[in-house]
């Protein structure tokens, strides 16, 4: 019985040991919403190098050379899915979730006015809270 309890406890700790920090992701979301390609690329590199160590099979674009912000925005859809599934739940509760039906994608952002990362300034408030 003690062995089973200890095994369950260790599995639980391991299962949550790799939850992704939401803060770098939100920095990237904000950079995309601001149409800041350079900043979004820098944060993307940080996320790939430091955050996604255990999620390389779930997100394939870490080694991709993005030509423009539109390519990065398309990739952000897949990155968002990884964060929705594996983001730190306690930390995520401090942020809001949103969805853009036109982009057919969702994202996580700071609470407040919507800042759509998929269209940037051209349609900054497009979307809905979920």
| Model pLDDT for residues 70-117, shown as the tens digit of each residue | 999 999 999 999 999 999 999 999 999 999 999 999 999 999 999 999
Q: Range with the lowest mean pLDDT among 5-9, 15-19, 26-30, 96-100?
A: 5-9
Determine contact, residues 115/103, Cβ cutoff 8 Å. no
Read off the tokens for 89.
């739940």
Instruction: Judge whether residue 11 has pLDDT over 70.
Output: no
Phi-psi region of 120 (alpha: psi -120 to 50; beta: other; left: phi over 0): left
pLDDT at position 105 is: 97
pLDDT at position 3 is: 47
Domain ranges of the chain: 20-129
Average per-residue pLDDT in the chain?
A: 89
Half-sphere exposure of 118 (CA within 13 A, CB side): 20
Determine contact, residues 72/41, Cβ cutoff 8 Å. yes
pLDDT at position 1 is: 52
Instruction: Judge whether residue 12 has pLDDT over 60.
Output: no
pLDDT at position 122 is: 95
State the Cα–Cα distance between residues 96 and 109, nearest whole angstrom: 6
**Which is more confident, 87 or 10?**
87
Placement of tokens 């969805």 in the chain: 99
Nearest to 40 by CA among 19, 26, 56, 22: 26
pTM for the full model? 0.85
Determine contact, residues 105/80, Cβ cutoff 8 Å. yes
Beta 96-100 vs 105-109: how paired, if at all?
antiparallel
Nearest to 105 by CA among 125, 76, 85: 76
Determine contact, residues 83/20, Cβ cutoff 8 Å. yes
State the Cα–Cα distance between residues 94 and 60, nearest whole angstrom: 28
């Amino acid at each position: 019985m003690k062995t089973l309890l200890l095994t369950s406890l260790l599995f639980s700790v391991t299962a949550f040991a790799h939850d992704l920090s939401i803060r770098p992701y939100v920095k990237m979301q904000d950079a995309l919403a601001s149409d800041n390609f350079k900043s979004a690329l820098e944060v993307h590199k940080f996320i790939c190098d430091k955050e996604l160590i255990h999620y390389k099979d779930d997100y394939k674009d870490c080694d991709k050379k993005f030509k423009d912000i539109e390519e990065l925005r398309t990739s952000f859809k897949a990155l968002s899915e990884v964060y929705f599934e594996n983001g730190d739940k306690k930390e995520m509760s401090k942020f809001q979730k949103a969805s853009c039906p036109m982009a057919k994608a969702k994202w996580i952002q700071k609470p407040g006015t919507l800042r759509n990362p998929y269209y940037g300034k051209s349609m900054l408030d497009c979307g809905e809270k979920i």
